[in-house]
Amino acid sequence: QRQMCIRDRPYRPYYVINMIRVDGHRWLMRRFDDWPGVGQVLLNPNVREYPRRIPLPYGGDGTPVEGVQPNLAAIHADGAWDLGVMGQGVVVAGQDTGYDWTHPALKPHYRGWDGQRADHDTNWHDAWGDGAVPFDDDSHGTHTMGTVLGDDGAGNRTGVAPGAQWIGCRNMRRGFGNPGAYAECTEFFLAPYPHGGDPFTDGDVRLAPHVVNNSWGCPDFEGCFPGTLAPAAEALRAAGIVMVVSVGNDGPACGTASTPPANYDAAFSVGAANNRREIVGFSSRGPVGGLIKPDVVAPGDYVRSSVPGGGYGYAGGTSMAGPHVAGLVALLW
């Protein structure tokens, strides 16, 4: 990361959003209120101050599913597979809690693994630390990526597009993030750069993914206002990268699909349905800002996918629905 000092404080500028992150206590905010060129000073919260997070009940399931998993059959992914369409040549990115890259369902599909050795440069970034090797401190990321493309070759095909490759960025710590972390991962995907590199000078747009899965939202307690991340979403769209976003779990009331970035026109937001194509009660609804949201729904109720440590488990939420669409983009492309 580019680390410099503003009056003895480290800071990081961003190009994907016109902002600068200053690291320090919140009382420093008033120092910058009257600086020339400063439009506004906003809090970029640290996760240590967040409320206790209730972990998803992933459970455990190590038994391969006979045939096609119900969630994948519900969207007819197997019909594409029968035609030989598996997502070959497509790179899917995910920004989430991290990824257990050694999981049998994910390792063969990781762009940083050539079958003999791992190269994490330009394939993995940790926006919360200096982790040079992919890891998942929450299970959420490993589960979502498994739904995009997971397949261990031994009967555990959890993914929509098992022929695609993936890269990842850790945008949350213990399940929570902030605008700085979300923007940092977006910059990494627009132009991936090596570990320790400078996003302004070392990024390579030729290594950018085709689609990004975003099974997260940035509510106000994480520091986001409704339009905070809009420039980042527009940048991805301008680059031709599909931004798939889970719409949130604040339903069933209308107007609940308001959490960034799912509320943006540039984001393809996804609600949750069960395998019978019925909308699940928790799935957030629009309209929001004059837009019809979500754009589509996908299976998000009791979805089986990979979990850290090599196992498999079930979880529900729009977080589980979004990866189906990211995988579908890979199949279509």
Three-class SS of residue 147?
helix
Distance CA 250, CA 48 (A): 24
Q: Is the peptide bond before 294 cis (omega within 30 degrees of 0)?
A: yes
- The torsion angle over the Cα atoms of residues 246, 50, 228 and 198, rounded to 10 degrees, is -90
CA 3/CA 28 separation, integer angstroms? 18
137 catalytic per annotation:
no
Residue 96 annotated to the active site? yes
**Dmax (CA) of the chain:** 64
The phi-psi region of residue 193 (left if phi > 0; otherwise alpha if psi is between -120 and 50; otherwise beta) is beta
Q: Which of 246, 284, 319, 324 is catalytic?
A: 319
Residue of 96, 100, 126, 136 marked catalytic: 96
The dihedral through the CA atoms of 115, 121, 123, 127 has a sign that is positive
140 counts as catalytic: yes
What stretches of the chain adopt beta strand conformation (E)? 4-6, 9-13, 20-22, 91-96, 124-126, 165-170, 211-214, 242-246, 268-273, 296-299, 303-307, 311-315
Q: Which of 103, 140, 210, 324 is catalytic?
A: 140
HEC letters along 182-250: HHHHHHHHHCCCCCCCCCCCCCCHHHCCCEEEECCCCCHHHCCCCCCCHHHHHHHHHCCCEEEEECCCC
Q: Please, is 95 exposed, middle or buried when counting C-beta atoms within 10 Å of its C-beta (0-12, 13-18, 19+)?
A: buried
Residues annotated as catalytic (active site), given as ranges: 96, 140, 319
